[in-house]
Amino acid sequence: MLLLFAAIASSSPGQVRDLSWLAGHWSECSSRGVTSETWTDARGGVMLGVSKAIRAGRTDWESMRIDTDAEGVALFASPKGQPSKRFRATSIAAGYAVFENTGHDFPQRVIYTRREDRLVGRIEGTINGEPRSIEWHYRAVALNDVCPVATP
Which pLDDT tens digit goes with each residue over 120-134? 999 999 999 999 999
DSSP of 83-121: PPEEEEEEEEETTEEEEE-TTSSS-SEEEEEEETTEEEE
pLDDT tens per residue across span 27-66: 999 988 999 999 999 999 999 999 999 999 899 999 999 9
94-109: string of b/e by CB count within 10 Å (b at 16+)?
Answer: eeebbbbbeeeeebbb
Instruction: Go through the domains of the chain in sequence order and give each one's CATH number.
Output: 2-140 (2.40.128.20)
